[in-house]
Chain A
């Protein structure tokens, strides 16, 4: 029934129309010189630049550098953050000892450490890796920790009553109960990791998409700047949707549409 389908997709249709309207207005503003295209660029100019850059090996080198920083920094944050969060959630005393440091690191934007990281690791990939890692690891630790802490006592009582070993309790009760929290942390951390890449490359770099944006900005190449920004938008959307899909697989036991 077309009427029904129309109704069902109203949000998407209205959203798409609004986006199209925005793009159209932008193009028109540039075409009729409502504003100088040198400042605001235009969708068609951005598309042209995108096509050019697709052929440009320098651009692919930038992409490679940025993705290396992002992927390794993020993976390292996951590899450290989840176990650490589990440990401080499970062992009260570990939390007492590490809590103050994590709280302090949480209160400060980790990009503040950029100058120190550059001092320590130079302006290459390693300083960005460090900032990406620092940015992402804190939210992963904190959400994993709160996941363990909110594990309901009644499930632990069941495990104890059936004589489950420590290991069994951990794998059958703690981990599945914590998984949704870990995903919340991972999603948030992916944003922080991307932020680390951008800031690191704006601050001091010789390559990377952020570096490309900064250089294009200095040369007043607005089209390239916009293209770079959109590339980050696209990456952010892709990463979040991958995580959301993975989360769904882990979350089959939750009632549909449950609010956490």
Chain B
């Protein structure tokens, strides 16, 4: 690509250049507040008022503080791994149960009208409720351990999965169903050959939404109890003003969330991604 000028290269990579600089600027700004750079810089201009530009690290931590803490927790003491394992385990069990129950439930409601009439009021009521409000109830029922957290993750995740599976069946091309019934296909055969393949992309996007909801579940469910888990680690660090640790925990959740939704997006693309998600796209 010798024929391209620097101006051309800049123009074609504008997105990357602007995005990276904004992010770098943010990090420098953050570090500067924490280390008092800006206070020093603006003292000649603002006098005593510039002191407000120095913020104690206990409040905002700092990029280098977070990086150092992350290094310690991941590589030196390794203390973060049990937390990740615990939360990951809860996520897998809760999300797995939500898929196992939500997908068949949604498919059935999509296929059998009367069943959807029965399911609908419960589904919309649950959907309108912030499901985490059930938390104190679950604590009463089964304590603050592993299964309570699984239950809350399940409850959060099962709703988008069911709703998407339901919508997935509804959008199957009726002509295809007519073809199947004119060839005398059995109900099971119709499900396997027509409904399942065309519903799959929808179900996958429901799962992507569910992953986001499960992350909420992890964080919120771990408000209670005091064992291991990323959410608990964040809480404990927060109440002992260990802000670096709080940000490390947040970072782990950000990365996990990005990784999982990217992985699901890749699977979606593999199974024909032209269909839009039901509900939201975030």
Whether B250 lies near A229 (C-beta < 8 A) is: no
**B241 an interface residue at 8 Å Cβ cutoff?**
yes
Please choose the segment from A75-83, A167-175, A209-217 that sits at the chain B interface, where 4 or more of its residues have CB less than 8 A away.
A209-217
Residues of chain B contacted by A233 (CB below 8 angstroms): 125, 128-129
In the bound assembly, the distance between CA atoms of A119 and B56 in angstroms comes to 12
Residue ranges of B at the interface with A (Cβ–Cβ < 8 Å):
14-15, 18-19, 21-23, 26, 59, 114, 117-118, 120-122, 124-125, 127-130, 132-137, 139-141, 212, 215-216, 219-220, 223, 231, 234-235, 237-239, 241, 243, 246, 249-250, 253-254, 257-258, 261, 279-282
Interface of chain B, main secondary structure: helix
Cα A143 to Cα B282 with chains together (Å): 9
* Interchain pairs with CB closer than 8 A, number: 157
A41 to B73, CA, bound (A): 44
Q: What 0/1 pattern do residues 128 to 172 of A give for CB contact below 8 A with B?
A: 000000000011001100100000000000000000000000000
A108 to chain B, nearest CB (A): 5
Are A93 and B14 interface neighbours, CB within 8 A? yes
For chain A, what secondary structure do more than half of its interface residues adopt (helix, strand, loop), or is it mixed?
Answer: helix
* Cβ-defined contact, A112 with B253, below 8 A: yes
With contact pairs A96-B18, A138-B282, A217-B136 given, residues A116 and B117 touching in the complex (Cβ less than 8 Å): no
Q: Once the chains are docked, how many angstroms separate the CA of A50 from the CA of B105?
A: 33
Contacting residue for B129 out of A97, A106, A210, A236, CB 8 A: A236
10 new A-B pairs (CB below 8 Å) besides A99-B19, A101-B22, A101-B23?
Answer: A18-B118, A104-B258, A107-B257, A111-B219, A112-B234, A115-B237, A119-B241, A213-B133, A236-B129, A237-B128
Chain B residues with Cβ below 8 Å from A63 are none
Instruction: Count A-side interface residues using an 8 Å CB cutoff.
Output: 63
Q: How far is the CA of A146 from the CA of B282 in the complex (A)?
A: 11
The answer to whether B117 and A202 have CB atoms under 8 Å apart is: no
Q: Decide: B140 and A39 in contact? CB cutoff 8 A.
A: yes
A97 to B18 alpha-carbon distance, docked (Å): 6
Which of chain A's residues 31-68 have a Cβ closer than 8 Å to chain B?
39
| Bound form: Cα–Cα A240–B134 in Å | 20
